[in-house]
Amino acid sequence: MLTNCQINNLVLRSQVGSGAFGLVFHAIDIVSQQEYAIKAVLKTSPNDSNNSTNDEKKQIKKSTILQDKLYHYFKEHQNRIYLPSVDLESIKNLTEQQLYCIPHYKEINFHLKVHDHANIVTIHQILESQIATFIVMDYYPIDLFSSIVEHKHFSNDGLLVKKVFLQLCSALNYCHQQNIYHCDIKPENILLDRFDNIHLCDFGLATYSSYLAPNTCVGSSYYMAPERVFCNGNGNGNNNDNNGICNDQNVCSSFPTISGDIWSLGIILINLTCIRNPWLKAHQLEDNTYHHFAKDNTILQKILPISNEFFQLLSNILKINPFERLTINSLIQNVENLASFTVDGPLSSVPQLIPIYDNNNYYNINAVTQPNNNNSLSLNELINDYADDPNEENNRKWKHIQLIFRRYTISIRS
């Protein structure tokens, strides 16, 4: 409906997504021919921000309202509008009191504080109109959901699974270091570039709160931790009342927000390796599979083709008690060293990955392999070795190495 509408030098080509308060468009800069994603965010008042944005019907209604308003706004201006840009640093420095008055800027404020990480989508401009704020960002044509489900991109490649998952952990760890908790980690919010590097986006549900009250339902139900889905917080000793989480009233009054993000990472790791979700919702009374898992977590090995080693890791990630879950640093270390994801098939044997961090706290592009004799080869030496080898299989493997091992040092196990 808004195809070929123009904002400054940016022409909208198609709508590629929608959310609680926004619509996302694929756009082209007619001067540079650079592709961008533009998220149009409906302007909101403090009263609007207090309403739940996790209700699907409300989300659809708000996005429909925004689409209708934008249609008439562009039509009124002959499909071409010229908007002023807002200084990014000024948005980044907004106080909580200021953000309360302009709640639709809260998402942008969070995002700007972490977008310097290589695995988080970069914001380039903020454009302001009468009815919406436009966020101009990097454009990536595919998300992790499509890559997993539609293209089966990870089903045969354990190294690629490790690469994208550890990049996601790196991005999320960086957010946590800035006291920002994403709260909506799911494949649709993780984008992929042509080199299979991930880029985290959509900070619409993010928070500074290090602890959340029980039943703070933010995010997608597939990826929500049990304490966010259902826990009455009364600590009355009834496991069904508390979703099996805890029996201590004081402990149950609030839960660490970071643990909710860790739980989501565990579900995504299952997505990457098994191309499915273990349950629809982590709610003992509403989901039969999760009910059985809460009683006996070995159900995972019955419904998923996972190795014993991977099962042990998942058991430590998907602890029902959020205070007992792995830290993100422990999770990173465990995945780096994991030797297998599945019982058989291509993911049953996976090399070890050892990342190199640079000053910006993300995996850099340098890569070397460490053969079994512990003699290291540089990336250039590897290129020369494979280039000189007439063996077609080795040439194919090298092309694969170039694609997969970006941002990592690789250690191949014997």
Residue 239 lies in a domain: yes
146 in the same domain as 102: no
The pLDDT, as a whole number, for residue 136 is 98
What pLDDT score does 358 carry?
52
| 44 phi/psi in degrees, rounded to 5 | -130, 160
Q: Clarify whether residues 196 and 267 are in a common domain.
A: yes
Residues 320 and 380 grouped into a single domain: no
Residues 103 and 115 in one domain: yes
* Domain identity same for 102 and 72: yes
The answer to whether residue 89 sits within a structural domain is yes
Predicted confidence at residue 298, as pLDDT, reads 96
- Do 238 and 268 touch, CB atoms closer than 8 A? no
Spans of the chain below 70 pLDDT = 20-21, 47-60, 215, 217, 231-252, 355-414
Rounded (10°) CA dihedral 118, 121, 126, 128: -170
In terms of domains, do 107 and 228 share one? no
For residues 383 and 374, the answer to whether their CB atoms sit within 8 Å is no
Is 184 one of the catalytic residues? yes
| Residue 85: inside a domain | yes
Last residue of a domain, one of 138, 162, 179: 138
Do residues 201 and 137 make contact, with C-beta atoms less than 8 angstroms apart? yes
Q: Is residue 210 part of a domain?
A: yes
- The CB-based long-range contact list for 106-110 (8 Å cut-off, 24+ gap) reads 106/49, 106/206, 107/41, 107/202, 107/203, 107/204, 107/206, 108/41, 108/133, 108/135, 110/180, 110/203, 110/206
The verdict on residue 357 lying in a domain is: no
Residue 362: inside a domain? no
- CA 398, CA 98: separation in Å to the nearest integer? 53
Domain-terminating residue out of 138, 163, 183: 138
129/258 same-domain check: no
pLDDT at 134: 97
Q: Give the per-residue pLDDT at 57.
A: 55
Question: What is the pLDDT at residue 409?
Answer: 36
Residues 387 and 344 in one domain: no
Instruction: Give the total number of structural domains in the chain.
Output: 3
Residues 67 and 120 in one domain: yes
| Stated pTM of the model | 0.82
* Tens of pLDDT, residues 276-335: 999 999 999 999 999 999 999 999 999 999 999 999 999 999 999 999 999 999 999 999
Together in a domain, 42 and 165: no
Q: Is residue 123 located within the same domain as residue 64?
A: yes
The active-site residue, picked from 143, 184, 202, 241, is 184
Amino acid letter for position 151: H
Q: Which domain holds residue 305?
A: 142-350
CATH label of the domain that carries residue 223: 1.10.510.10
Radius of gyration of the chain (CA): 23
Task: Tell whether residue 43 is among the known ligand binding residues.
Answer: yes
Compute CA distances 19 → 181, 260, 377, whole Å.
19, 21, 47
Q: Same structural domain for residues 213 and 297?
A: yes
State how far the Cα of 119 lies from the Cα of 234, in Å rounded to an integer.
40
Assess contact for 186 and 172: CB atoms under 8 A. no
